[in-house]
Amino acid sequence: MAPEPIPGPPAPRRRTTVVLNAGSRSGAAARDRLPALLARHDLADARVLSVTSGAELAATLERALAEGPDLLVVGGGDGSVSCAADRVAGSDVVLGVLPLGTANDFARTLEIPSALEQAVEHLATGKVVDVDLGRCDGRGFLNVASLGLSVGVTQRLRPGLKKRLGPLAYPVATLGAYRGHEPFTARLEFPDGDHDTLALHDLMQVAVGNGRHYGGGNAVAPNASVDDHLLDVYAIERGRLRDHVSIARFLKDGSFVEHEKVHHLTTRRVRVVTDEPLPVNLDGEIAATTPATFEVQRNALHVVVPQTSRAAELDGPRAAAADHG
């Protein structure tokens, strides 16, 4: 039975800026409702900046942060939130999340509700917790960085498909990517010496997880957490169709990592080398290329979550074991 969440003091009143990506799946609808909801929850003074595409997002975030907010709220999908997280990591700025995308896996990890009014309410009444940030050659990611099949999925997840099908767009895109997938070879190196180098062949995918959820609610591993100061690394061999079906059955709870065709371990730093450079997907954005080094930035972000959230309460079992192992 899961432990009861530890309540924290409500977030104090802050200078708040909201950056809303109206191009996200629910962003346009939220834009009209947001001012009234902010006022209803004592956030009427919040400054709201709206963008219509990811291309505008980076510059708008920089403008918002230049104004010195205490609380930066991002309304959008995982890509939008990850873009903001990369910029506030290591600072005193607190990050708030309004899950308006298709998958909303970071919000799922933090147990932030998908309903807009409830998410706004928790901005005012929630508690602030510290979470880790993954980095790929310096660039931040919240959920998962991956190469192989997932890149093909991302390439097929067009905005129109996500708007039409919502979370169902992921299995549809996965089926298409699977049909055209070319297996690859990868070498996993561990600069800290905590594991021997792994040379792996005939692979479908390599993934490096910082958070718990990815791909519309799948779990990285049974014990994956966003605050354990560890990365969960897994590599899936191609295998046979029945192997893939067997693995797919256990994606939701993460127990697929126990399958004989899956290699899984935890670490703080891993370098992935492939025979030919391969693109790397960071939280749904193809933003890097192998060879690439992945590491965890501990307690990099301060994030507002609901008082009832059980996320970011781990600074304990796995992290302590890793520190003393």
pLDDT score, position 65: 97
Q: Report d(CA 82, CA 226) in Å as an integer.
A: 13
Residue 131 corresponds to which tokens in the numbers above? 């979470």
- On whether the CB atoms of residues 117 and 79 are closer than 8 A, the answer is no
Q: Could you say which architecture CATH assigns to the domain 16-131+299-311?
A: 3-Layer(aba) Sandwich (3.40)
Q: Give whichever of 180-184, 238-242, 316-320 has the largest mean pLDDT.
A: 180-184
DSSP three-state, residue 275: coil
- On whether the CB atoms of residues 300 and 136 are closer than 8 A, the answer is no
pLDDT score, position 150: 73
Considering 67, 285, 295, 313, which one is annotated as catalytic? Answer: 285
Residue extent(s) of CATH 3.40.50.10330 domains in the chain: 16-131+299-311
Determine whether 285 is an active site residue.
Answer: yes
Chain mean pLDDT for the chain: 85
Residue extent(s) of CATH 2.60.200.40 domains in the chain: 139-297
- What is the rounded radius of gyration, in angstroms, for the C-alpha atoms of the chain? 19
Q: Report d(CA 142, CA 227) in Å as an integer.
A: 11
Per-residue pLDDT tens digits for 10-22? 555 579 999 999 9
pLDDT score, position 218: 85
Q: Is pLDDT of 66 > 60?
A: yes
Topology classification of domain 139-297:
Tumour Suppressor Smad4 (2.60.200)
Per-residue pLDDT tens digits for 226-282? 999 999 999 989 866 655 555 565 466 777 788 888 999 999 999 999 999 999 999
Q: Between vectors from CA 249 to CA 245 and to CA 255, what angle results, nearest 5°?
A: 120
